[in-house]
Every structure is written in C-alpha cells, then in structure tokens.
Amino acid sequence: MVARKISRELDKIRVIRSKVRRLIEERSDLFHIGVAGEPLKLCFEAVDSGFTAPAIELLGGYLAVINVVSVRYGSTCSRTQVSARTHVNLWFNEDETGLMAKVLERKRALELLEARRLALEMLGGKPLFDVLLLDGEIAPRITYTVEHGRLRRNLEKFINLSRKLVESALSSATPVVGVLKRSYARDIAVTLGLTDIRINDRVLMSLALKPGEYLIVKRSEEGVYGSLSRALREIGKSVEDAEIKRWVNSRLKWYEGLMSALGDKAREIGLGFYRPPGTLYPVATKVEYVVPEDFSIEKLFSSIMYISTSTGIPAPIDQADALSAVTRELRHIVYEKLKAEVAGNLGVEDRDLLLVLSLMNPEKLLHLIG
C-alpha cells in the first residue's frame, strides 16, 4: 500500500520533472539560480545540540540531558576548537527538553557572536571566526498550541533570542547560516503551480538544481517570507481545490506568525537551496541565512558547498551533531549522580521519598543503562 502511494506520486513527478527548471526560470521575479564559484578561505563556527528524546521519564517528572556543542573549523582558523556543555533539568509537568535545547543553542550562538566582536576590538581586526553555522532554522517555527505556563515562556524566550541573533549578526557583520535538515515545506512547489503533487521543496530543488548550483528566493521589502506569502496568496485565489485552499490559508497564518514574532528582523532572513557536487545522494540542502550587505551571497554559497560532506551538510555541522549526541553512558551517569545527590540531602528516615526518582516504566532501565 505504501509502495503504491509513493509510486503514484513518482508518476506525477516523472511527468513534470522536465519542466520544473523552466518553471523556476520563468519566475525570475521570485527566484535566482546561481553557480558556485571560487570559495573563500573562511573559518566556520558551528553550533548544535543533542538531547534525550524522549526525556527520561521518572515518577516525579521528566529528566532531561542536553549537550550544546560548538566546533571551529577551517583552514584560516587560528586553531581547531571544540566546546561542549552538558545541561541537566527536571520538568515536573511537561517535557520541555526540545524547546530548551533550542534556547540553549541560541544563547551559545549569541555568546560566540559577542566573543567575535570583542576579539575584533582587542586583536585589531582578526576575528575568531568568519561564519556562524546553526543546525536548524534561524526563523523560529511558531507553535500556537502553547498558550500559557512555562512552556509558553520558553517559546517567547526562544523567539526573543532569535530576534537578538539576527540583530547581533548584522551589527557584528557576521554571516549566519541555518541548515535545515528536516524540512517538509512545499511552498515553492505550490508557488510554481505544482499543486497536484505532494513533494516538498527539497525534492523539487534536488530535481531542478545541477551539482554546484544554488537557488535563492528573492527578497521584497517584506523579506523572503513576505515574497512567498504574497505568491501563495495569489495561488490561493486562483485554485478551486478546497484542500489546496485550506493548505494555503494555514501556511499564510504560519508566515504571519513568523513575521509578527520577529518584527522587522524577519525581512533580514534569506532562504535558499544548494546542491554540492560529489554527494552520496543527489539531494539539495535547504538553508536560511543572514548576510551583511558587504558579503557576497554567491561567495557564501560557494564556500559552504566547498566544506560540505558526502551528505550535503557542511562538515562542521556534521561534527557538532556527532559530538552532541547524548550517549547511554551519559544518561546513566546523570541519573545515578542525581539519585546520589538527592539521597545525600535527605535524612535516613526520608529515604523512601527517593521513589520519585524511580523510572516511570522500569522496562526502560535497559534503554537507560544497558
């Protein structure tokens, strides 16, 4: 059944694949396809986090372990450097680990941008790094289902930190690139009028771009998301299919939320795809970016392609991702250390209270320590 479902979509793709490139080129008002040139020799700093997913479920709440890692990479770096921090928390009512990991990533990114600024002032023009890479989006994906409580406060904190990240990138003249590994949006496909196929934009760009090419969404005064929302609004008016209309309306609300959350900083964020040569699979990579006025976008894409691995992902992002993994050994150490510290704070007569640290599902013990 699943194979037949995929085959039906592939049949549709087979019909339109030859005209995808032409459709993109016809929308030169919205899209630009470029070819990578000579890369710049740059020093990259990559930030990523790994966390317990799901969190360790205890009778008393959700125990979370979050690793935040930054990796400095490149031929012009004064030295290769890896920084790793482990954060432990307990959520009593709701698992907030994923959102908190994003908050901690943003804080680390802002620390690095500030350190770069100070180094420029103290070292007379020699930056610690040239480009900041993030594993994930720059523009926060807004969740409207969160209306109150601590989870809402952390979401607002993440949005505020994202706004500060854009401000800091521009004020310090530092290019920032967010690499979106997991993206299922199909805004570009729908914008091109391909409403009858259910493929996401990464698949579409993988078909349209040749190795060594990149595509950027052109920015209007409202930014790239303003450009896309305007194009989608026109599609919504022209199609009769009720399902497509509902999808367009939901995306427009999402764009409105994104632009409202970031305010005037939303228009500073760019959106693009690139397809590096020599990858294991012929898949395009999706990125968001903030680039100072005096930094060439073509040079940025050329340089990122140059350091991309066979996965299509920039090497420092791959390294940070691997180093931030929360291992079984680390989960075990954190859990046992927590029990020991809590036991030390209890009197002998209260040791039975340690049951709050018992695993909610004892069968998960092997997952934790085995």
pLDDT in tens, 121-171: 887 777 899 999 999 999 987 654 555 566 778 888 999 999 999 999 999
pLDDT for position 91: 86
pLDDT at 366: 58
Give the residue with greater pLDDT, 75 vs 303: 303
Claim to verify: residue 170 and residue 317 sit in the same structural domain:
yes
9 lies in some domain: no
DSSP 18-55: HHHHHHHHHTTTTEEEEE--SPP---EEEEEEEE-SS-
| pLDDT, position 194 | 86
Please tell me the predicted confidence (pLDDT) of residue 171. Answer: 93
Q: What is the pLDDT of residue 220?
A: 85
pLDDT of 274 > 90? The answer is yes
- Is there a single domain that holds both residue 351 and residue 320? no
pLDDT for the residue 138: 96
- Residue 2 included in any domain: no
Of 106-110, 166-170, 244-248, 337-341, give the lowest mean pLDDT range: 337-341
- pTM of this structure: 0.91
Pairing of strands 176-180, 56-58: unpaired
**Structural domain contains residue 68:** yes
Residues 349, 276 within the same domain: no
Measured on CA atoms in the order 368, 103, 286, 304, is the torsion positive or negative?
negative
Do residues 189 and 286 share a domain?
A: yes
Asked if 332 contacts 324 with a C-beta cutoff of 8 angstroms, the reply is: no
Residues 278, 37: Cα–Cα separation, whole Å: 16
- Report which DSSP code applies to 220: B
Q: What's residue 278's pLDDT?
A: 83
d(CA 58, CA 3): 40
pLDDT at 351: 65
Whether residues 302 and 334 fall in one domain: no
The answer to whether residue 10 is domain-embedded is no
The 10 Å CB-count burial string (b at 16+, else e) for 44-69 is bbbbbbbbbeebbebebbbbbbbbbb
Residue 346 has pLDDT above 80, yes or no: no
In a domain, 87, yes or no: yes
Q: Which of 236, 234, 229 is nearest to 253 (CA)?
A: 229
9 is written with which tokens? 């979509």
What distance in Å separates the CA atoms of residue 272 and residue 279, rounded to the nearest whole number? 18
Q: Are 274 and 287 in contact (CB under 8 A)?
A: yes
Helix (H) or strand (E) holding 222: none
Q: Tell me the pLDDT of the chain averaged across its residues.
A: 88
Query: What whole-number distance in Å separates Cα of residue 146 and Cα of residue 149?
Result: 8
The reported pLDDT for the residue numbered 107 is 98
- Examine the domain organization and report whether 258 and 334 are in the same domain: no
pLDDT at 195: 83
Confidence class for position 268, pLDDT limits 50, 70, 90: very high
Length of the chain: 370
Whether 248 shows a pLDDT value over 80: the answer reads: yes
Question: Is residue 146 located within the same domain as residue 291?
Answer: yes
Bigger pLDDT: 343 or 191?
A: 191
Residue 237 sits in the same domain as residue 345? no
Identify the three-state secondary structure at position 272. Answer: strand
pLDDT mean over 174-182: 95
Which H or E run contains 185? none
Please check whether residue 64 is in contact with residue 97, taking contact to mean a CB–CB distance below 8 angstroms. Answer: yes
Mean pLDDT of 174-203: 89
**CA 187, CA 199: separation in Å to the nearest integer?**
10
Residue 13 inside a domain? The answer is no
**What is the number of structural domains in the chain?**
2
The burial class, CB within 10 Å (0-12 / 13-18 / 19+), for 330 is middle
Q: Would residue 32 count as lying in a domain?
A: yes
Least confident of 20-29, 67-76, 136-145, 159-168: 136-145
Q: Are residues 285 and 337 in the same domain?
A: no
Q: Are residues 76 and 121 in the same domain?
A: yes
Name 88's bridge partners.
65
129 within a domain of the structure (yes/no): yes
Q: What is the spatial distance between Cα 98 and Cα 108, in angstroms, rounded to a whole number?
A: 16
Average pLDDT rounded to a whole number, residues 362-366: 61
- Check if the beta carbon of residue 193 is closer than 8 Å to that of residue 235: yes
Domain interval for residue 342: 329-369
Strands (E), 41-115: 44-51, 56-58, 61-73, 81-91
Cβ neighbors of 18 (< 8 A, separation 6 or more) are: none
For the segment 310-326, what is each residue's pLDDT rounded down to a tens digit?
Answer: 999 999 999 999 999 99
Taking 80 as the threshold, does the pLDDT of residue 15 lie above it?
no
177 and 249 in one domain? yes
Tens digit of pLDDT for each residue in 39-61? 999 999 999 999 998 888 888 88
CA distance 135 to 311: 14
Do 281 and 343 reside in the same domain of the chain? no
In the prediction, which pLDDT does 330 show?
92
